[in-house]
Structure 1
Amino acid sequence: MVKNTIFKLESPYRNDMKITSYEFGNKNAKKTLAIVGSTRGNEIQQIYLCSRIIKMLKQLEQEDKIDKSKKIVVIPTVNNFSMNINKRFWALDNTDINRMFPGYDLGETTQRIAYNVFEYVKDFEYGIQFTSYYLKGEFIPHVTMMKTGYENPELMDYFGLPFSYVRSVSPYDTTTLNYNWQVWGTNAFSIYVGENEKISDSSTEMVLDAIKNFLINIGVYKENLKDDFYKTKHINSKDIVYVKSNKAGILRTYISLGQSIKKGDLIGEVLDPYEAEVLQKIISPYDGIVYFIYNINLINNNSNVCRIILE
């Protein structure tokens, strides 16, 4: 393993910001897989997963179970300045680094960060980003690809996760790492890892197994696939329904991720915050599997309570 500083930002009041990469493989090895963790300051689960992957790869390297002719790099975080003060976006101007790619070396600070990260990872055959959703909540861990015209959805089966999702591109997606990776010729995946600000042990182990599966399938890790390898179900936007509140108040949910529910089942209740009277019973409109749960107990009117994959 080789540890490198790929970008350094000097600060007059704090320690210098350093973006660190961990490289595995020979010096002139083929650029095979780049993994990028948190681009936002509240993505704790994402940086934790990267740390676990680095620990796993160090062990596999010591056991000579990695093909050293293929290079793997892991960048745990590109935004530790914001993480240190518990801010989601860039601490100084509240911009989102994951909306700055491919970056600009003479631009604003976040553009220069994105530029240096992208220059480092853009030539890899495969790229994995541990990303997060704009709403607070928890997903079933799953892998996504953007529909850019360069996507290869069959590659998502390599992870052995229960679900994969190809989603359409919105205008704001064109400045994300995943989109630009694909445009520059990398097979790019985003993995939603469950939580953001909390570490989920079950999600961590599921994603670590998925990374092992992927390494085996691309010929980097010398091992056989486990017998419990998932047959990935491919879904798109037509397979997912949103269940929303029509009242504001205290939210109590009675479902769990991955649970099969039937039309008419009770999903949760919205309570009056002063008198605890039930303002709304939230009922499932369809049969399906719980895919996402909003996990904040105060909810606004017309907000997402959960998402369901239709069966």
Structure 2
Amino acid sequence: MKKEILYSFSSYLRNEFKIEGYRFGKQGDLAEPAACIVGAMRGNEYQQLFICSLLVKRLKELEAEGAIVGENQILVVPCVNNFSMNVRMKYWVSDNSDINRQFPGNFDGDTTSRLAAHLLDKTKGFRYGIHFPSFYRKGDFIPHVRMPSTGKESVSLANLFGLPYVVTSKHRNYDKTTLNYNWQINGTDAFSIYSGATGNLDEPLAKQAVSSVLRFLTRMGILKYNCHNGYIASIIEEEDMVQVRTKAAGFFRRFAGVNEEVQRGQMLGEILDPYEGNRLAEVRSNVNGIVFYAANQPTILENATAFQIIKKLHE
């Protein structure tokens, strides 16, 4: 293993900012850049950093055992935004900007744009790119691989992680500013892995995410590693999932969890008056299916998405 600083700059009244990377396998000019794994870009992505720390530990052990095949090199970048993480801010501390909305970046731009430019420069050219982002909705969800449509995505490769679902989504304008998209347009097969947690450490889910990465690297001939086969992934389009929305605002009491099979008309939760405690509205399923996402905040707004449900086929 070789630990190195990928990018750094001095900061007024703070220590030097560093993006650190860990290279495994072949070093030097003869190395074949096989896989790059990037963890936390936001200051609340503790689970994503935890997953990468477990990967660094396991890859160090596997490298010592001679398990990295041939000239392959693996780069792990556990954290891109430790400044925000240290002070418990989600976005960049000085201007509240989101690094994963700054790609491809500008070497002469604002701070987060420079960070994005240098990170992309150091990580492009790998055959495979794996990013652990946080889910765009606050709540619980089933672990999955997400593939934004760029015209270059590979659902068949995404299946090889062995996670329960591969989710595809239509192209959105802001996708062009993400690491995943810019990896893809620069020739890297890119995947976003959503582990099921963000602001807290969930060790079973983290270990599942680590296993999925090691499984993928093994199946692509980068590692020699005996692992469980995992799931045969179901391919779903995000636009086909059914949104269950609230009819009132207030305290949210949830009765159904993720990966739970529900029936049409089943009561999934209720909204309570925060002052008087009486029920303001029921939250009921409008289809038969499996809960993919469930909000978990104490309060919820009217017309907010409380659940996403994978609708049963032939419904």
Whether TM-score is above 0.5 comes out as yes
Q: What CA RMSD, in Å, does the superposition of the two structures yield over aligned residues?
A: 1.1
Match of 1:188 in 2: 190
Match of 2:62 in 1: 60
**Structure 2 CA distance, aligned partners of 1:79 and 1:34?**
17
**Structure 1 CA distance, aligned partners of 2:86 and 2:217?**
32
Identity of aligned residues (%): 41
TM-superposed CA distance for 1:41, in Å, is: 0.7
**Structure 1 CA distance, aligned partners of 2:127 and 2:115?**
22
Match of 1:100 in 2: 102
Match status 1:207 vs 2:195: no
Match status 1:149 vs 2:167: no
Contact 1:289 / 1:308 at 8 angstroms: preserved in 2? yes
Match of 1:217 in 2: 219
Contact 2:8 / 2:16 at 8 angstroms: preserved in 1? yes
Contact 1:259 / 1:289 at 8 angstroms: preserved in 2? yes
1:13-52 matches, cutoff 5 A: 13-27=13-27, 28-52=30-54
The AA in structure 1 aligned to 2:278 is: E
Match of 1:9 in 2: 9
Deviations 1:28-83 (A, max 9, x none): 32101000101111111111100011011011111222225111000011111111
When residues 239 and 202 of structure 1 are mapped into structure 2, their CA distance, relative to the original with a 3 A threshold, is farther
When residues 254 and 78 of structure 1 are mapped into structure 2, their CA distance, relative to the original with a 3 A threshold, is same
Contact 1:287 / 1:310 at 8 angstroms: preserved in 2? yes
Match of 2:238 in 1: 237
Match of 1:293 in 2: 294
**Structure 2 CA distance, aligned partners of 1:144 and 1:300?**
27
Contact 1:47 / 1:77 at 8 angstroms: preserved in 2? yes
Match status 1:257 vs 2:268: no
The AA in structure 1 aligned to 2:134 is: S
Match of 1:276 in 2: 277
Contact 2:211 / 2:227 at 8 angstroms: preserved in 1? no
1:150-165 matches, cutoff 5 A: 150-165=152-167
When residues 106 and 238 of structure 1 are mapped into structure 2, their CA distance, relative to the original with a 3 A threshold, is closer
**Structure 2 CA distance, aligned partners of 1:26 and 1:192?**
29
TM-superposed CA distance for 1:262, in Å, is: 1.0
The AA in structure 2 aligned to 1:33 is: A
The AA in structure 2 aligned to 1:162 is: P
What SS does the corresponding residue of 2:20 show, helix, strand or coil? strand
TM-superposed CA distance for 1:144, in Å, is: 1.1
Deviations 1:285-304 (A, max 9, x none): 11111111111111111111
**Structure 1 CA distance, aligned partners of 2:92 and 2:70?**
36
Instruction: State the TM-score, normalized to the length of structure 2.
Output: 0.96
The AA in structure 2 aligned to 1:18 is: K
**Structure 2 CA distance, aligned partners of 1:212 and 1:33?**
11
What SS does the corresponding residue of 2:120 show, helix, strand or coil? helix
Worse-matched range after superposition: 125-134 or 202-211: 202-211
Paired positions, count = 310
What SS does the corresponding residue of 2:206 show, helix, strand or coil? helix
1:82-97 matches, cutoff 5 A: 82-97=84-99
**Structure 2 CA distance, aligned partners of 1:310 and 1:74?**
36
**Structure 1 CA distance, aligned partners of 2:185 and 2:157?**
17
**Structure 2 CA distance, aligned partners of 1:118 and 1:86?**
25
**Structure 2 CA distance, aligned partners of 1:241 and 1:143?**
19
The AA in structure 2 aligned to 1:98 is: N
**Structure 1 CA distance, aligned partners of 2:45 and 2:84?**
10
TM-superposed CA distance for 1:214, in Å, is: 0.5
Worse-matched range after superposition: 229-238 or 91-100: 229-238
TM-superposed CA distance for 1:246, in Å, is: 1.1
TM-superposed CA distance for 1:224, in Å, is: 3.8
TM-superposed CA distance for 1:162, in Å, is: 0.5
**Structure 1 CA distance, aligned partners of 2:207 and 2:56?**
14
**Structure 1 CA distance, aligned partners of 2:10 and 2:193?**
31
What SS does the corresponding residue of 1:55 show, helix, strand or coil? helix
Match of 1:118 in 2: 120
Instruction: State the TM-score, normalized to the length of structure 1.
Output: 0.97
TM-superposed CA distance for 1:108, in Å, is: 0.8
What SS does the corresponding residue of 2:83 show, helix, strand or coil? helix
**Structure 2 CA distance, aligned partners of 1:76 and 1:310?**
36
TM-superposed CA distance for 1:244, in Å, is: 1.1
Contact 1:250 / 1:273 at 8 angstroms: preserved in 2? yes
Contact 1:24 / 1:68 at 8 angstroms: preserved in 2? no
